[in-house]
Structure 1
Amino acid sequence: MIRGKVRRSQLVAPFGPGAMQVLADGTSVITAGLDHWFIPGEKLDQEEFRIHEWRLERHLGVEALYTPPDHRSAFKSSPDQYNTKLQVPVLRFPAWSFCPRCRELTSHPLHIADRPRCTNPDCPKQKASWAPFLAQVPFVALCERGHLQDFPWVEWVHKTANPNCRSPKLKLRTSGGGTLASQRVVCETCHGDRGLEGITSVERPNREHEDETTYLTTHLENGTEFSCRGAMPWLGLATAGEPCGAPLRGSLRSASNVYYALVKSSIFIPEASSAGVDTRVLEALEEQTIARARANVRDVLEEGDILTASRLRRAAKKNAFRLADFTDAQVEAALSILEGPAEASLELTAETVGDQAPFRFQEYTRIRDTIDSTELVVREPRAGYAKDVGQLVSRVRLVEKLRETRVLWGFNRIFAESPNPDTAARMALLRRQSPEDGESWLPAYTVLGEGIYLELDPGRLAKWEVGPSAQNPAVQDRLAPIAQQFQTVARERHLAERQVTPRLVLLHTLAHLLINQLTFECGYSSASLRERLYVSPGIDGMNGLLIYTAAGDSEGTLGGLVRMGQPERFEEILRNAINNARWCSSDPVCIDSHGQGPDSCNLAACHSCALLPETACEEFNRFLDRGLVAGTLSDPELGFFSSLA
């Protein structure tokens, strides 16, 4: 039996539905769709895996969020044990394999349970006491719309989409080189022979034609395009209902662009103010067994009925002791918050998912003030900050406790960012059949942590964005190359248009500089910290950033990050970050750059000064420029923090 182990959080990203991974025995598998993650049965209690995050549920238009199931052995001593032997199914993919001895290519079903061995009677090892295990081919084919299929070996070697060769016997030969030119597929039946050089290449029909095609699509058969068939092997579908028609691209199965998880994250904020409600009651109501009882009662309530304390106590049965210390009035006051009327769900469109500003604004309005709840604790610093820092940074908040929920709502292939019209289609890739009303859900997981939130002075920021004068807008001129380059990239990839503003680049670069500095000051690794930007245009727009721990283990809650936000410590960290930004070890090449980094959308930002691990950055390490933070060699006063010594 082919099986392996993986962390539950990794089944959200990077090994969610449609993603490939290699197990310990060397078998390449693809994670199956959500249809078969929780198989209904007598001993299944799916509510145990429920994550309560009201904002994400409404934003993504689903009824629930669940953590991937964990595997538990069944014990005879506990016959009533629930949720035992749960597994996330995987399928063996690619289906094509070759013998490392005789090089014969063969195909096997996706659901094969054991590692296949070579059955070729002419294989040299067949004469021995055992036949060699087959190795899966290293190549697959995919398209931008998220489809994935085996490389078309039979069609490629015969140079036609409809080969006439009867009983083709294929072999994958290699000349020992490290390039695709050294790989050849041979048909011994009709003596066809063809190399694999160019199968991963992209082509344009002509220079004026904006749409790209691929070498595999245009050259498999002369005069005819071989496009994607819409295969989705993780759902058990060899083809879609209708042909996809998108250009098909060859790829190594281990290439990083085969799967990009689309993850939406949220900092939990209470649905309503918890003033006057004992936080202990809220904690008791959100405890796993009581939350499950609330869900059971909610399912049988008639329209207009209210969940009362007495009804909840009866539903909780033997777990009702968790509410014994509280009166009915206390319980019902807390239930009015947790079970309040829900807002209308948002329709999942490119605008609702792609535009971060409306979704982030809810967090922005709560996290910039003090709050004390079971899942979010935000406090003011115990004293004021130095005058020079206070003039530039108008607000600092210490986030002593937060809970971040990360949800997988789709995935991309080839490009990390989703094209504008395909948002709903990306979510549809996760399951074979559309869920019935009231049963839609997505996989998610939570991490606990802490952080530092800060805002820039809105008045100074507005004046700085305009520049020293209308006739000499130095900030806008500095930003122009980044904005123009991103518009070019967006047109080529059909991405949603967005405005690259000076405050976005300023806050984003400042977050990177502070994270790099905090790794030296408080001992966190850069991969354990994460940025969260709150940016929108206008003098009354958002201009904040949150730096918080993103680690899923104890490293995320050690308390060191919050201490770095206290007066005296924070001023020193900010000054050191700005001073280090004034000179990079790659200067003057870095500071004088006209475009570098991913998609050439950075100016003065490189691995020596401002780049972070991809897991820590929200913008794929784009839209960075130290010049807008600390100034440039030719204009030292250009930066927003140029006056900070």
Structure 2
Amino acid sequence: MIHGKVRRAQFVTPFGPGAMQVLSDGTSVITAGLDHWFPHTSTLDQEEFRIHEWRLERHLGVQALYTPPDYRKRDYRDPDKPNTRMSVPVLRFPAWSFCPRCRSLTPHPLNELERPRCTDQSCPRPNATWAPYLAQVPFVALCERGHLQDFPWVEWVHKAVNPQCRRPKLKLRTAGGGTLASQRVECDTCKAHRSLERITSVEQASNDQGQDTTYLTAHLEEDAEFICRGAAPWLGEADGAETCGQPLRGSLRGASNVYYALVKSSIFIPQTSSTAVDPDLLAALEDPIIARVRSIARDYLPEGATLRAADLRRAARTNAFRLNAFDDAQLDAGLALLEDPAQQPPVPSPDSETTAAVDPAPFRYEEYARLRDALDSPELVVRVPQRPYKADIAHLVPRIRLVEKLRETRVLWGFNRIFAESHTTHAATRMALLRRTAPEDGIAWLPAYTVLGEGIYLELNRERLADWETNPLVDQRLRPMARRFQHVADERHLNRRDVSPRLVLLHTLAHLLINQLTLECGYSSASLRERLYVSPGTHGMNGLLIYTAAGDAEGTLGGLVRMGEPGRFEGVIKNAIDNARWCSSDPVCIGSPGQGPDSCNLAACHSCALLPETACEEFNRFLDRGLVTGMLKDPDLGFFTSLD
């Protein structure tokens, strides 16, 4: 039986549905779609895995979020114990394998349960009863729309979309080199042979539209295109339901561009902060256990009915004691506020002169509006420092908040292949790749997981930031970076971004502070993360959150919040700015016209401003120390130049 162990969070990223991984026994498998993650059995209690995150559910258009199931041994003393012996299904892929001894190529079913052995009678073996295990081929074929299939071995070696060889007997041979040209597939039946040279190449098509195509599509057979057939082996569709029409590209199965998880994250904020209802009551109703009971009770209500206090107490059963402090009238008022979207207060908006069209990030703005002031809820605690910060810091960073508790939810809503981003395909198409059919109960859901942490939120001086952004030297310095990214975006199918001075300033400041906190606070740089709140305009967002969310106890020890207290955080900021004035790679770093990923950084390298990619939202792009500290020739270029 093929099986392995994976952390639950890894089924969100990087091993979600459609992703390949190699198990401990060497078998390459692909994670199956969401259709069979929670099989409908008499002992299934799916609500145990429910994550309540109302903003993500609303934003992604789904009714529920669930953590991947964990495996639990069956207790034979309690056979009705729910959620035992559950696992995430996987399929053996690639289906084609070769023998390490005789090099024979053979296909096997996706649901093969055991590691296959060579069945070729001509295969040399130590004795008559022992045959070598087969190794899966290292090559696959994929398209930009997310489809994946086995490499077309039979078609490739015969140079035909529809081969005429009746009983092909293939072998994969190698000449001992490390290139694709040294790999060769042969057919012993008709003696055809062909190397794998250029199967991963892209070339310009000769048609009038000038669209890119691939060598595999254009040259598998001359004068005929071999296009994607829409295969989705993780959904059990090895051959594809219909032709996709996109060019096919060969790839190593372990290449980084085979799977890009599309993950959306959110900092949980209370569903309402209305003062018309007792905050303690709202906290009790939003408690994870009671929220789960509300969800279950809502499913059993008649159509059009609303959840009432009596229904909630009856559904809570042994957990009803959590509501004993409130009478039915209070519970009805709280439920009316939480269960009826029409009763929800509007999300705080920017100042009246700022319109929705000016703010391109409404999803982030909800978090931004809540983090700016004090808040006390079961999942999010924001505190205003009791003492003021020093005047020189308060002038530049007038708003600092201590986030003593936060919960981040990360949801997998789709994936890409070949390109990390795709602006040509609708988001619903990417989400549809996660499952074969719609769920039977009609409840659309996505896999997710949560992590707890703490953080420091800070916001720059609006007036000073507006004056700084109008400096012509700032725009002149960033113009080459913006042009380079536009070129990269066109070449690699990335979404367009507004590479603004505000984005680069806040992003670089976040990196400098994280590097400094790792030295003074004791956290590793991989356990700290940034979250940027940036939008254009004088009244747009201009904040950043540095927080811990590593999924373990390290994120809840309180050390980060303690470093944000007055008397400590001033030193962190000053030391971060002072250390950024000079890099050990200067003058090469400070004078660089472009470096880092895609050459989309200026004065930023591994010695001064780069972070582990898990800590950065922008893949270590859009960084420049010059906009923070200034340059030797242009000291006024830096926002923090006046900070001694």
TM-score (norm 2): 0.93
What are the residue-to-residue correspondences of 1:293-442 with 2, within 5 Å?
A: 293-341=293-341, 357-435=361-439, 438-442=442-446
> Which residue identity does 2:139 align to in structure 1?
F
Does the residue aligned with 1:538 lie in a helix, a strand or coil? coil
Structure 1 segments, 4+ long, off by >6 Å, are: 206-210
> What are the ranges of 5 or more consecutive residues in structure 2 without an aligned counterpart?
345-355
Amino acid at match of 1:33: G
How far does the alpha carbon of each residue in 1:591-618 deviate from its partner, in whole angstroms, 9 at most, with x for none?
2222222222111122222111111111
Distance apart, 1:498 and its partner CA: 2.8
Tell whether the 8 Å contact from 1:143 to 1:246 is kept in structure 2 after alignment: yes
| Pair 1:135 & 2:139 matched | no
**Cα displacement string for residues 459-502 of structure 1 (whole angstroms, at most 9, x for unaligned residues):** 111111110xxxxx110010101111122222234443332111
CA contact (8 A) 1:120 1:126 kept: no
Q: Per-residue deviation at 1:61?
A: 0.5
Partner of 1:603, secondary structure, is: coil
Q: Give the 3 Å change call, closer, same or farther, for CA 207–510 of structure 1 in structure 2.
A: farther
**1:285–1:453: structure 2 CA closer, same or farther, 3 Å change rule?**
same
> Contact (CA 8 Å) 2:283, 2:377: kept in 1 or not?
no
- Work out whether 1:608 is the aligned partner of 2:612: no
Quick check: 2:421–2:493 contact (8 Å CA) kept in 1?
no
1:504 and 1:446 map into 2 onto residues whose CA distance is: 27
How far 1:106 moved relative to its partner?
Answer: 0.6
Aligned to 1:465: 469
8 Å contact kept, 1:227–1:248: yes
Confirm or deny: 8 A CA contact 2:17 2:31 kept in the other structure: yes
Unpaired segments ≥5 residues, structure 1 = 345-351, 468-472
* One-letter identity of the residue aligned with 1:390: A
Look up the match of 2:627. 628
Shift of 1:632: 2.3
Distance 2:124 2:362 in 1: 65
SS of the residue 1:637 aligns to: helix
SS in 1 for 2:426: helix
Give the whole-Å Cα distance in 2 for the aligned partners of 1:385 and 1:129: 79
CA distance in structure 2 between the partners assigned to 1:634 and 1:158 by the alignment: 65
Deviation at 1:343, TM superposition (A): 8.9
Matched, 1:187 2:187: yes
RMSD: 2.2
- Does 2:9 match 1:17? no
| Residue aligning to 2:573 | 574
- The Cα of 1:575 is off from its aligned counterpart by 1.2
SS at match of 1:572: helix
Q: Residue 141 of structure 2 aligns to a residue in which SS?
A: strand
Q: CA deviation at 1:276?
A: 6.9
- Per the alignment, residue 7 of structure 1 pairs with 7
Amino acid at match of 1:225: E
Q: 1:455 aligns with which of 437, 441, 459?
A: 459
Aligned-pair distance for 1:219?
2.3
Name the residue aligned to 2:582. Answer: 583
Asked if 1:268 corresponds to 2:272, the answer is no
1:73 and 1:85 in contact (8 A); partners too: yes
CA distance in 2, matches of 1:428, 1:184: 37
Of stretches 492-501 and 25-34 in structure 1, the one that deviates more from structure 2 is: 492-501
Residue 75 of structure 1: aligned partner: 75
Question: Cα deviations across residues 155-181 of structure 1 (Å, max 9, x unaligned)?
Answer: 111122111112111111112222222
Residue 458 of structure 1, CA deviation: 0.7
**One-letter amino acid of the structure 1 residue matched with residue 64 of structure 2:** A
- Higher alpha-carbon deviation: 229-238 or 198-207: 198-207
Alignment partners' CA distance in 2, 1:343 and 1:613: 43
Question: Which position in structure 1 is the counterpart of 2:561?
Answer: 562
Q: Which amino acid aligns with 1:108?
A: H
> Which amino acid in structure 2 is aligned with residue 484 of structure 1?
R
Question: Match for 2:123: what amino acid?
Answer: C
Call closer, same or farther: CA 1:113–1:627 in 2, change over 3 Å: same
Alpha-carbon spacing, 1:356–1:607, altered in 2? closer, same or farther (3 Å): farther
The residue type equivalent to 1:620 in the other structure is F
Structure 2 Cα separation of the partners of residues 104 and 633 of structure 1:
66
What's 1:349 paired with? none
Aligned to 1:43: 43
Of the structure 1 ranges 604-613 and 318-327, higher mean CA displacement relative to structure 2 is found in: 318-327
Distance verdict in 2 for CA 1:600–1:436, change over 3 Å: farther
Who is 1:470 aligned against? Answer: none
Moved more, 208-217 or 499-508: 208-217
SS where residue 149 of structure 2 aligns? strand
Kindly state the Cα deviation for residue 322 of structure 1 after the two structures are TM-superposed.
Answer: 3.5
CA distance in 2, matches of 1:213, 1:576: 52
Query: 1:590, CA displacement in angstroms?
Result: 1.8
User: In 2, are the aligned partners of 1:48 and 1:288 still within 8 Å (CA)?
Assistant: no
Q: CA deviation at 1:383?
A: 1.3
Q: Match for residue 348 of structure 1?
A: none
TM-fit CA distance, 1:398? 0.4
Cα displacement (A) at 1:638:
0.8
1:284 to partner: Cα distance = 4.6
Cα distance 1:623–1:392, how it changes in 2: closer, same or farther (>3 A)?
same
> Normalising by structure 1, what TM-score?
0.93
Q: Partners of 2:312 and 2:129 in 1: how far apart? A: 66
Find the aligned partners of 1:222 and 1:321 in 2 and give their Cα distance. Answer: 75
Mapped partners of 1:172, 1:631: distance in 2: 59
In 2, Cα distance between equivalents of 1:417 and 1:92: 27
**CA deviation string 1:56-108 (max 9, x = no partner):** 00000011111111112221221331112212110000001011111111100
How many residues are paired up?
631
Report the CA distance shift for 1:84/1:534 in structure 2 as closer, same or farther (over 3 A).
same
Deviations 1:213-245 (Å, cap 9, x if unpaired)?
Answer: 222222222232222221111011124443222
1:259-296 superposed Cα distances (whole Å, 9 cap, x missing partner): 11100000000111164766665555445554343223
Q: Distance in 2 between matches of 1:287 and 1:463?
A: 45
Aligned to 2:347: none
- The separation in 2 between residues aligned to 1:84 and 1:538, in whole angstroms, is 54
Q: Equivalents in 1 of 2:479, 2:487: separation in Å? A: 12
AA paired with 2:564?
A: G
Larger deviation: 22-31 or 564-573? Answer: 564-573
Distance 1:207 1:152, change over 3 A: closer
Q: CA deviation at 1:420?
A: 4.4
1:421 aligns to what SS in structure 2? Answer: coil
Q: Contact 1:591/1:633 (CA < 8 Å) preserved in 2?
A: no
Moved more, 18-27 or 176-185: 176-185
Mean CA deviation greater in 68-77 or 533-542:
68-77
